[in-house]
Homo-oligomer: A and B are copies of this chain.
């Protein structure tokens, strides 16, 4: 594409670095901003700058936070016996949005991936172990994705906790609610058969 202006070209290139935004979408966003009041562009630019400059991570659970300690960790209404281990802040949001979980979180910041050069020391694992030994929660719930790397990470953490009294669990895998059996992949279906649960009509 030949852009009529270097300014437009720069903005298109910057926008198209975002995930899911190609050159055409980027151009649409740029032309949209040009049609709007200058305030819209200023607000967006300022929000982006402030976001990256001022964002902090909770010193306890490593979730995104505006304060030294995040609102979940500092809340008095949460069950402090339960720690849910997740990969990143997006997972915290997803679980929070269910409204069904009342425990605390621990954000690993990724999973162990030797091929990409990510080892246990690059993740927030040490602080998790320390947190467990100091605060003695009753249960750790792994809410990680279903990949080899995530499994490795969960295995690594569970081995480190071998001598601890903490109960370790993982979120259930199976056929999604509303999902049809015939459309489920074989792995999910066979796993949901082998981990079947007692039938309990209430």
Bound-state Cα–Cα, A89 to B72, Å: 48
Known: A14-B43, A15-B44, A45-B46. A30 touches B51 (CB 8 A): yes
In the complex with contacts A45-B49, A55-B34, A97-B2, A19-B8 CB distance below 8 A: no
Q: Which of B4, B10, B31 contacts A70 (CB 8 A)?
A: B4
Cβ-defined contact, A48 with B52, below 8 A: no
A25 at the interface (CB under 8 A from B): yes
Which of A59-67, A150-158, A164-172, A182-190 lies at the interface with chain B?
A: A59-67
Subset of 10 A-B contacts with CB under 8 Å: A4-B65, A4-B71, A4-B89, A6-B66, A20-B25, A30-B51, A34-B51, A34-B52, A34-B64, A42-B52
Q: Which residues of A contact B (CB under 8 A)?
A: 1-8, 10-11, 13-15, 17-20, 25, 27-34, 38, 40-55, 63-66, 70-72, 88-90, 92-93, 96-97
Q: Could you list 16 further interchain pairs (A-B, Cβ under 8 angstroms) beyond the known A19-B32, A30-B51, A31-B89? A: A2-B96, A4-B65, A4-B89, A4-B92, A7-B54, A11-B50, A14-B48, A17-B43, A18-B32, A27-B90, A27-B93, A31-B88, A34-B89, A41-B51, A44-B45, A45-B49
